[in-house]
Amino acid sequence: MVLTDTSDSEDPMPHQPIILLRGLSREQAHWGDFLGLLQRAVANPVLALDLPGTGQALAETAPANLTYTVSQLRARLGEEHQRPLHLLAMSLGAMVAIEWATQYPAEVASLLLINGSAANLTPFYQRLKWQSYPLVAQALFASALKREQLILQLTANNPRLRHEQLAHWQHIAMERPVRKLDVLRQLLAASRFCLPAKPACPVLLVASRHDRLVDWHASQRIAELWQVPLLLHGTAGHDLALDDPKWLTLQAKHFYQPHG
């Protein structure tokens, strides 16, 4: 089911915090312009939360099981933030968000999931496109600076943005280097993730038709099973927040404040 409009909600969602979760080996600094755009577009507080082993959580060990990932995120978030939370998450982060909503349904007000996938719905060669295997293998064993170049090459389709972001992403990698063992644990956790029953909260799926890392049909299968809307971007790559942050912000604004 592919929809292009989610404005049929009767009431705007309450102004609980929107928590942003990034993907494999990425941290909150990789959200780029999208974070600020979203903060200005919605009335909700917006908070980017790093997965264990990345960014501000670099000292934590990345679990090989998403159940433990959720536990670590909840412990770090603490009680000062109002529940339930809106979770906006990309790739591996989308799997974590689904796990959070499954384990603690009362804590999750909505899910906005970008370029996600699940092992029980999509074969491994679509969850990680076989065409990307050589670059993925190179990235795993490359130097930090070369790895960021390869990741941008895999995940961003806009050559100008790749060029503009490279130095910034390389700086992040040098300042807060993610351990290879933590990346492997994240990959193992992602490989084990199977889609559960649909959570009771509102759900919006977003995917990139020209994602060169994960086949967009992985999101389509989730949408069909859960019977939820799927919005497709026509040109962006896997890192939709980088390739077209304004478009993604607009979709998020319509989702959180349909009559705003």
Tell me the DSSP string of 96-165: HHHHHHHH-GGGEEEEEEES---TTTS-HHHHTTGGGHHHHHHHHHS-HHHHHHHHHHHH---HHHHHHH
- Is residue 201 in a domain? yes
- Is residue 11 in a domain? no
Q: Is the pLDDT of residue 128 over 90?
A: no
Write down the residue that tokens 């130097």 correspond to.
143
Please give the share of the chain, as a percent, with pLDDT higher than 70: 94
pTM: 0.92
Enclosing domain of residue 125:
18-256
Q: Which of 126, 99, 100, 103 is nearest to 115 (CA)?
A: 126
- Is residue 6 in a domain? no
Q: Is the pLDDT of residue 7 over 50?
A: no
- Is residue 85 in a domain? yes
Digit-coded pLDDT (tens) for 68-98: 999 999 999 987 777 899 999 999 999 999 9
- Residue 219, Cβ neighbours under 10 Å: how many? 28
Segment 135-146 mean pLDDT? 89
Write down the residue that tokens 């909503």 correspond to.
101
- Is residue 232 in a domain? yes
Please state the domain count of the chain: 1
Query: What are the φ and ψ backbone dihedral angles of 109, each rounded to 5 degrees?
Result: -85, -30
CATH number at residue 93: 3.40.50.1820
- Is residue 80 in a domain? yes
